[in-house]
Structure 1
């Protein structure tokens, strides 16, 4: 396993004298690799460490405290998932996690052509750790702001108006900003002869993903030269392109397969944030220049997991496949089809 030589981009350059060079580097990294490190994002190391420390506190709670907020309680797919509770490509992941999204009110009964409306609702929060709610919601908003800036920069890198996708992140029912989904994750040390699938090989479904790692490695990226290890770099986020951006750019931007291998000596903690278009949006086909369009090869397709341009339908499809227990309890009419 080689150590990744992922591109290193400094978001501060987007606002400085090196703007043009930053946009060039962003376009190349997003087209050729689909993964890069991001510095200059404005989120302090102290904030990052505070969030990771709270994550460790949450996972150290007694199981009874964690299961009080288990995802199985939530038709909105929010809350705690124990080891083996999430599936990737049908196989259980060796991780426990806590998922949140935007703190929303239930928007009402879904219509037959918008079953994804069931995804909208409140998060669950453990009473034993009251600091978790304000800290994670504030951090989620900080990450949202970073990804919106990065998305607009990416559109400029494609010689498009920076606001070309703003209508897809304008907000659902009066809310502002893109669809949010964040999870704090604990990967336990792999037991002898046990599965090493921290997370199975997959692509992310949204526009952009930010990953904050602790000191333990494990994130691996598939490249033309095989799997490479994305070593943690203090203060930097790992960014990857999601399938919605690959679809919007007709394959010019690259959604890259990646996975996490279970640690061998010490538990690994991370935070992943997934930014996407709002659930009521339909992803457009961006009008690339003739030069860039000639390099676009169309989005990758998987007959077993087709991409849907209607974001809510695409998001619900993924959640049903990953969390079969929640699907069985809250979506019995859809669970078998997923």
Structure 2
């Protein structure tokens, strides 16, 4: 039954909706009974193990922590916007939130790659320390501010595998002419080693392997890779990674919409991201170990170590590729400098701490 609205209720609704509408023209928060309804778009198929489940949990965390005052609805890759258009959609206000990976946006904001992972770079724990303690967050905010975006770490798939190959790789020469799905600066390394790097959205990797669009593919770790079925199209699974020692996911927040939130809701968004970042990393470590065992014992995947000449060549190429990549972009140069300072600080402690202990424990 329809009930007429009182003048008091109309005035109350107008007083709340007006500042929100002024905050951002496109994608203004939708107000219903004093609740905000936000959209989250992602680069992942909905429910995909790892990144997909992380995105859903993040949406659920924000909704629950706010007691429904900020209700977040998740849209999987392609449901509202294409998977590689999440960045623009959030900045323009098509959606208030996005869940994705920063290295997809190096064509828009060059140094974005440093906030997911770079070859022979920081591990997951070291990366989190740099962002939280070493000035990385302030640089990330500065990088995305012109795009009307506020970024947060919001999930981590941990250290990753080297990738799936249709044919066995025995030396550097086997990379000549090979087409590999690769994201981030690892693609440039493969290019300089004679391969062709192709960026496919996650949901298109399996079909790309099956159809021959690519001969190999790197994505994440065993948990996510098994779920996508890559082992069915490319049986050789290589380790160690050189391209992706870390797997930070990001939550993109429309900056104007975020600043229009009350302080308590801003804190909820930030704390939900931090909680999911920690939880997802532990989940990835556990599930990757379980999935790797299943791939070896159950699916009979062929686990192979990268030949030493490939690893040596990739490591030798990396410093020059990074220098060339940031050259002429003052902010990118500043971010690389900060990143390298974090690397230098982390290396000694890693050698006498984690690395030394693991060598003693496992050998």
Q: TM-score, normalised by structure 2?
A: 0.26
Looking at CA atoms only, which structure, 1 or 2, has the larger radius of gyration? 2
Q: Which has the higher helix share?
A: 2
Structure with greater proportional strand content: 1
